[in-house]
Structure 1
Amino acid sequence: MAIEPVVQEKVYEEIQQELGDDEITHEKLSQLQYLDMAINETLRMYPPFIRFDRVASQDYQLGDYHIPKGTIINVPVYSIHHDAEYWPEPEKFIPERFSSAEKAKRHPVTFLPFGDGPRNCIGMRFALLEAKIAIAKTLRVVEFQKCEKTEVPLGLGKVAVLTPKNGIWVRV
């Protein structure tokens, strides 16, 4: 949010409008729609895992391709999340991509930060709830700003779990 002050301000205003200084409850958090969009856009740009694998449980014919049972299928999450066919200007941070109207235009498997199907991340709902609580509590009292060490764009490590290469530097 330090490099997107307009987004940070919108999230802050939504938090003030919906929560004010009241206690944070699950019901009130569910009303923070713009915060949801900002979190989802962050997960699109920086998914926790750059890929996940699945094993074909049976033989499958996909067009001209035969996929034998037992084949390991690699799902390239980072590449899908940065594909301009699904995400115009994929390098730009645009939370509005996750409005109800925009989501309805996309195939659901173009957004996979927690995987998909029966083997998706068991902690997904908890992680999203924790992120919302942390952001709501933090933005009530501080503002994030870029500093001289803030990397734009963020350099990423070359491992399966997406991590910043040189940390994340901001001024609070």
Structure 2
Amino acid sequence: GKGGVQLPESAMNDISAQCMCLFIAGSDSIALTVTCAAYSLALHPGIQEAVIKEVDAADEATYESLRSMVLLDAVVSETLRMYSPTSVLTRICSQSTTIAGVRFTPGMRVEIPAHAMHYDPEFFPEPESFKPERFLPEHKDSINTYTYLPFGVGPRSCIGMRMGMVQVKYILYRLLQNVTFEPCAETQVPLSFAKGKVLLEPDPPIQLKIVPRARCQSSGSSNNPTAQG
């Protein structure tokens, strides 16, 4: 536009390619996180009700309003702790160092067990319990940055982290405006997961009952479909 910076076509192509990469690369992990969040809310109706109140209080889904939804943010963060899409982070050692008596040399491959850390009671008391309050503003600072690793940490952390969080929160916001999630006869508790997969994969798939909210039933079907994720 007028007074703006004119970018060369090559730069625009690079920007378009990076945007496409972010959308495609994150699609599976975003779908998994939304599904696992819905599952967790279905099993914890009190938390789901509180999130719905937060959703209903927002006039619209803007970047600022999504950021202000602290409980929704905490639900997503706790979902990522319990069901992080990748259970192990891989790094290549860049310089010689010794940690806890273990020698690391340049080029050495280092595997970081993020899933195990997320379920260590020393870092997260009652790790098997879904407790979004861990990530509320008044408690969040007590979490050691290097024990919560759904996106990694440091200069090699996930480049799409902020975009991914916004996408997950927006999808859940739109869903919870219109429906609630409930367990059904086919809902597995606890979940089990396929072995040997790069990304976490519930096996069997998650199944839930999706119930139209009362305010939406007049304009939609009264049937309660079962969703599989």
Q: TM-score when scaled to structure 1?
A: 0.94
The alpha-carbon deviation at position 83 of structure 1 amounts to 0.6
Aligned partner of residue 61 in structure 1, secondary structure = strand
Aligned partner of residue 34 in structure 1, secondary structure = helix
Instruction: State the partner residue of 2:179.
Output: 142
Which one has the largest radius of gyration? Answer: 2
Are the counterparts in 2 of residues 147 and 171 from structure 1 also a CA contact under 8 Å? yes
In terms of fraction of residues, the more helix-rich structure is: 2
Alignment of 1:37-116 (within 5 A): 37-116=74-153
Q: Deviations over 1:28-83 (max 9, x none)?
A: 11110000000000000000100011011010011322111111110101101111
2:185 equivalent to 1:167: no
In terms of fraction of residues, the more strand-rich structure is: 2
Give me the whole-angstrom Cα distance separating, in 2, the residues matched to 1:24 and 1:156. 33
Are the counterparts in 2 of residues 144 and 171 from structure 1 also a CA contact under 8 Å? yes
- Tell which has more relative contact order, 1 or 2 (C-alpha 8 A, sep 6+): 1
Q: TM-score when scaled to structure 2?
A: 0.72
Q: Which runs of 5+ in 1 are unaligned?
A: none
The alpha-carbon deviation at position 23 of structure 1 amounts to 2.9
Aligned partner of residue 110 in structure 2, secondary structure = strand
Q: Deviations over 1:133-158 (max 9, x none)?
A: 11111001101000000011111112
Instruction: State the partner residue of 2:162.
Output: 125
Aligned partner of residue 39 in structure 1, secondary structure = helix
The alpha-carbon deviation at position 110 of structure 1 amounts to 0.9
Moved over 3 A (4+): none
Instruction: State the partner residue of 1:29.
Output: 66
Instruction: State the partner residue of 2:8.
Output: none
Aligned partner of residue 88 in structure 1, secondary structure = coil
Point out the more displaced range, 41-50 or 67-76: 67-76
Give me the whole-angstrom Cα distance separating, in 2, the residues matched to 1:64 and 1:23. 54
2:42 equivalent to 1:2: yes
Q: Which runs of 5+ in 2 are unaligned?
A: 1-40, 211-229
Give me the whole-angstrom Cα distance separating, in 2, the residues matched to 1:109 and 1:160. 22
Q: Give the partner amino acid of 2:97.
A: Y
**Identical aligned pairs, as a percentage?**
38
Give me the whole-angstrom Cα distance separating, in 1, the residues matched to 2:132 and 2:203. 24
Are the counterparts in 2 of residues 43 and 113 from structure 1 also a CA contact under 8 Å? yes
Tell me how large the CA RMSD over aligned residues is.
Answer: 1.0
Give me the whole-angstrom Cα distance separating, in 1, the residues matched to 2:140 and 2:66. 20
Aligned length: 169
The alpha-carbon deviation at position 123 of structure 1 amounts to 1.1
Are the counterparts in 2 of residues 51 and 160 from structure 1 also a CA contact under 8 Å? no
Give me the whole-angstrom Cα distance separating, in 2, the residues matched to 1:43 and 1:106. 14
